[in-house]
Amino acid sequence: VHEELRQKERLAIIGQMSAAIGHEIRNPMASLKGFIQLQREQYPNTNDYYSIMIQEIDRIDSIIDDLMYIGKPRVIQFNKGDIKEIINYTISIAKQQDEENRIVFETKIEDAIPEIDCVEKRLKQVLINLIKNAIEAMPEGGRITISAGVLDRTKVWLTIEDEGDGIKEENIANISLPFFTTKKNGTGLGLMVSEQIIKDHNGSIKFESTEKKGTKVIVELPIVQINKKINH
Ligand code: ADP
Ligand code: MG
């Protein structure tokens, strides 16, 4: 319990710092991105460097998104969101980043999934993180299957499956810890933030993984949020 408290305090401090720094980095990054876009328009067909620069800025942006969600007090305002639209949007983003078309995306989405109370931007952030992990687990490429449906009267479900390396048994318990990563350039923030976001939606997230076979992430979310506004 003591250790847990210390961890919480540590995260709160990291969260406050990250929020402040993230905010400061955002503005110059946005202006940098704007100027690169201008250059690209002015000198089209030179090479792909401008597009790569813009992609890299977007990558920094999504890391800042993760950092800024940690440990800071937040008020959540839920709105109606469409799961199918959220999935399709995220896949289009992921496809842009998979330039060599190594990944095949497949969706199996039930018809008539009701809209759910959510913070759309945050659910997109979760999906981007999960899809990114799936892509990174398949360096040689492969298939990612994203499915969604209605679980019962109160919940919807969503799964992301890959055919990647899988998670080592001894790592399963650690993957959502802050800064836990097995990657050379990983931040170890993606799952921790994703779990937090799902928790803030009163939902659940589970991992099923077989080494060298692949990983399935299972998310369940309530359709209706009872307390539409949560103050932490
Ligand atoms: P990062 O991606 O920066 O390493 P994450 O929090 O997103 O941080 O993931 C933590 C760790 O969980 C990863 O380094 C990896 O070892 C493991 N992991 C997560 N998703 C998958 C997956 N789909 N397949 C294999 N390993 C995964
Ligand atoms: Mg990740």
% of the chain surpassing 90 pLDDT: 67
Q: Confirm or reject: Cβ of 180 under 6 Å from ligand 1.
A: yes
Evaluate if residue 151 carries a pLDDT over 60: yes
Task: Report residues near ion ligand 2: CB below 5 Å.
Answer: 133, 190
Task: Give bridge partners of residue 105 from the DSSP assignment.
Answer: 144
Q: What is the pLDDT of residue 69?
A: 83
The two tokens of residue 84 are 């199918």
pLDDT of residue 75: 67
Antiparallel, parallel or unpaired: β 79-81 and 116-118: antiparallel
CA 20 to chain centre: 21
Give which of 209, 224, 177, 218 is closest to 8, Cα–Cα: 177
| d(C-alpha 224, C-alpha 213), whole Å | 35
- Residue 52: pLDDT band (50, 70, 90) is confident
Q: Distance from the CA of 35 to the center of ligand 1, in angstroms?
A: 33
Are the beta carbons of 215 and 207 closer than 8 angstroms? yes
Which one of 138, 175, 210 would you pick to mutate in the ligand 1 pocket, going by the greatest count of ligand atoms within 8 A of its CB?
Answer: 175
pLDDT band at 74 (very low <50, low <70, confident <90, very high): low
Partners of 107 in the β-ladder: 146
* Averaged confidence pLDDT in the chain: 90
Q: How far is CA 122 from the centre of its chain?
A: 8
The pLDDT of residue 28 is above 50: yes
pLDDT (average), residues 57-66: 87
Contact in structure between 102 and 138 (CB atoms under 8 Å): yes
Q: What is the DSSP letter of 160?
A: E
pLDDT at 231: 46
For ligand 1, is residue 182 a contact (CB within 6 Å)?
yes
Average pLDDT score over residue span 26-47? 90
Q: Give residue 94 CA to ligand 2 midpoint distance, Å.
A: 13
| Centroid of chain to Cα 154 | 24
pTM: 0.87
Pairing of strands 75-77, 116-118: unpaired
The CA 208 to ligand 1 mean position distance, Å, reads 13
* Gyration radius of the chain's alpha carbons: 18
Choose one of 97, 127, 171, 191 to mutate for the ligand 1 pocket test, by most ligand atoms within 8 angstroms of C-beta. 191
67 lines ligand 1 (CB under 6 A): no
- Ligand 1 centroid to 20 CA: how many Å? 26
pLDDT of residue 232: 44
Q: Which atom of ligand 1 is nearest to the CA of 166?
A: 25
Separation between Cα atoms, residue 228 and residue 79, nearest integer Å: 9
Going by alpha carbons, the residue nearest to atom 7 of ligand 1 is 190
Tell me the pLDDT tens digit for each residue of 107-130. Answer: 999 999 999 999 999 999 999 999
229: pLDDT strictly greater than 70: no
CA–CA gap between residue 183 and residue 232 (Å, rounded):
32
Minimum-distance ligand 1 atom for the alpha carbon of 182: 14
What is the percentage of the chain residues whose pLDDT exceeds 70? 95
pLDDT value of residue 57 = 92
pLDDT digits (tens, 9 = 90+) for 169-228: 999 999 999 889 999 989 999 999 999 999 999 999 999 999 999 999 999 999 999 865
pLDDT of residue 68: 84
Quick one: which of 60, 130, 129, 132 has its CA closest to 95? Answer: 132
Residue 169 structure tokens:
């048994």
Q: With bands split at pLDDT 50, 70 and 90, how would you rate the model's confidence at 35? A: very high
Q: Among candidates 145, 169, 166, 148, which has minimal Cα distance to 221? A: 148
